[in-house]
């Protein structure tokens, strides 16, 4: 037909040797010069989706022409032609981006670029897949849809709802930067307040009874479990960074927690008590991992062993992280040195101030107040006059 459009689209990488190279869309129209459009993306699937959308628009346009019907005005405006405004062509690069299959890949690459751990990226990806429908596009991201997607989790506890909300907010932040989503969406997120219950912690005597009650059918594995729990009960390390310890990390009575295993991304060296160091030195070295079979099982399996030991020893309930919380409380109460305790446990200083200062008991605060008023250099004030008059 004479009035049908003869336009072809393709995509390619401009300057592929450059690290910052990204995709361009090429438009070839009959009788017109070739036009290249910057798609502002490094993800191949995004560029291919742009090409597929453009071809579908031309196909629909030609169907209207063949049938002798009037072409809709919105379809006429959306078709990228050599004589169409370049702004429309660039904006159209995100129209057919599927959130789960395409947008998620680019988001993961962006998280890696800013230094997020692979474990954190995996958690964010799982959360976004649970929140967003499989057939949702980037253009479906708006305030009403976000509220609808997050409302599926209203029956869950506040910590879980906050986790899903934070993951969705981080993805929206990425879409604002990459696909031009409205920035006002960030203000529409409802902050989910997590009810902070009092954290349980064990004394050293309670941790001793719990670890002694650990049982396993294989006595060699039971020995490894006890050593694994004793490390967490004395240095306050996290359960996963303890499981990732290698024999090369144990030198001169100290443990080195490598940067790739720690939450802060920084290497931490912690001295051991000589009894714990001697226990680790006596463990069989069957491989590179210090705790061998304990390292290969899941966190749930390690927690199941601890839960049975807690039940058998009749000690207060706690989880794997309770070891770390208990050590932080014991160290802080014995030294009153927040910075030293934070350094040993790998806490940030502000996090340490938040949790350790909240752990002060009322008796400790009362002793501080009494010590201040019992000072020899205390200047008499209104309180002394009230005492003399017998009013208090």
| Per-residue H/E/C for 19-86 | CCCCEEEEEEECCCCCEEEECCCCCHHHHHHHHHHHHHHHHHHHHHHHHCCCCCHHHHHHCCCCCCCH
pLDDT of residue 355 exceeding 80, the answer is: no
Residues of the chain above pLDDT 90, percent: 16
pLDDT value of residue 91: 45
Average pLDDT over residues 19-25: 79
Q: What are residue 7's DSSP bridge partners? A: 29
Distance between alpha carbon 96 and the CA centroid of its chain, in Å?
28
pLDDT value of residue 84: 55
Residues of the chain above pLDDT 70, percent: 81
Using CA atoms, how far residue 230 sits from 238, 239, 286, 314, in Å, is 12, 11, 20, 18
- Alpha-carbon distance 149 to 130, whole Å? 9
HSE of 63, CA atoms in CB hemisphere, 13 A: 8
Q: Model confidence at 89, in pLDDT bands (50, 70, 90)?
A: very low
pLDDT value of residue 230: 93
pLDDT of residue 206 exceeding 80, the answer is: yes
pLDDT value of residue 211: 92
What does the DSSP assignment read for 334-362? HH--HHHHHHHHT--HHHHHHHHHHT--H
Helix (H/G/I), strand (E/B), else coil: 226 = helix
Q: Are 44 and 10 in contact (CB under 8 A)?
A: no
Average pLDDT over residues 361-366: 55
Average pLDDT over residues 225-242: 91
pLDDT of residue 52 exceeding 60, the answer is: yes
Q: Model confidence at 340, in pLDDT bands (50, 70, 90)?
A: confident
Q: Are 132 and 169 in contact (CB under 8 A)?
A: no
pLDDT value of residue 353: 60
pTM: 0.55
Cα angle for residues 181, 186, 191 (degrees, 5° grid): 150
Quick: pLDDT tens for 261-310: 888 788 888 888 888 899 999 998 888 899 989 988 988 899 999 999 99
Torsion of CA 76, 82, 88, 91, to 10 degrees: 120
Domains belonging to the chain, first-starting first, are: 7-94 (no CATH), 99-188 (1.10.150), 204-363 (1.10.443.10)
pLDDT value of residue 296: 87
Quick: pLDDT tens for 147-197: 888 888 888 888 888 888 888 888 888 887 777 677 777 777 776 776 656
Query: Which is more confident, 109 or 234?
Result: 234
pLDDT value of residue 85: 45
Q: Model confidence at 79, in pLDDT bands (50, 70, 90)?
A: confident
Average pLDDT, the chain: 80
Across 74-88, 178-192, 209-223, least confident range: 74-88
């Amino acid at each position: 037909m004479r009035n049908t459009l003869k336009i072809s689209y393709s995509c390619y990488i401009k300057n592929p040797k450059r690290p910052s190279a990204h995709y361009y869309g090429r438009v070839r129209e009959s009788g017109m010069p070739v036009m290249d459009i910057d798609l502002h993306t490094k993800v191949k699937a995004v560029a291919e989706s742009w090409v597929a959308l453009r071809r579908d628009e031309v196909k629909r346009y030609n169907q209207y022409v063949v049938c002798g019907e009037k072409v809709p005005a919105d379809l006429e405006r959306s078709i990228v032609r050599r004589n169409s405004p370049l702004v429309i062509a660039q904006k159209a690069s995100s129209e057919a981006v599927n959130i789960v299959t395409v947008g998620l890949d680019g988001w993961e690459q962006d998280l890696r670029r800013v230094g997020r751990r692979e474990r954190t990226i995996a958690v964010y990806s799982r959360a976004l897949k649970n929140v967003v429908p499989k057939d949702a596009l980037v253009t479906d991201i708006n305030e009403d849809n976000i509220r609808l997607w997050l409302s599926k989790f209203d029956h869950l506890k506040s910590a879980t709802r906050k986790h899903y909300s934070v993951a969705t907010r981080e993805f929206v932040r990425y879409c604002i930067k990459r696909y031009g989503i409205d920035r006002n969406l960030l203000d529409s997120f409802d902050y989910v307040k997590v009810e902070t219950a009092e954290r349980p912690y064990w004394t050293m005597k309670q941790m001793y009874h719990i670890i002694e009650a650990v049982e396993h059918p294989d006595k060699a594995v039971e020995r490894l479990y006890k050593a694994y729990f004793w490390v967490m009960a004395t240095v306050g390390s996290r359960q996963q960074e303890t499981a990732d310890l290698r024999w090369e990390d144990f030198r001169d009575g100290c443990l080195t927690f490598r940067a790739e295993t720690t939450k802060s991304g920084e290497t931490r060296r912690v001295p051991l008590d000589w009894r714990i160091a001697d226990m680790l030195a006596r463990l069989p070295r069957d491989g590179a991992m210090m705790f061998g079979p304990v390292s290969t099982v899941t966190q749930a399996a390690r927690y199941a062993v601890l839960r049975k030991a807690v039940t058998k020893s009749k000690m207060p309930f706690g989880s794997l992280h309770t070891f770390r919380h208990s050590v932080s409380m014991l160290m802080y109460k014995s030294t009153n040195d927040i910075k030293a305790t934070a350094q040993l446990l790998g806490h940030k200083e502000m996090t340490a101030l938040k949790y350790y200062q909240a752990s002060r008991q009322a008796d400790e605060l009362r002793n501080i107040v009494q010590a201040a008023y019992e000072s020899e250099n205390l200047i008499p004030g209104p309180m002394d006059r009230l005492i003399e008059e017998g009013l208090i």
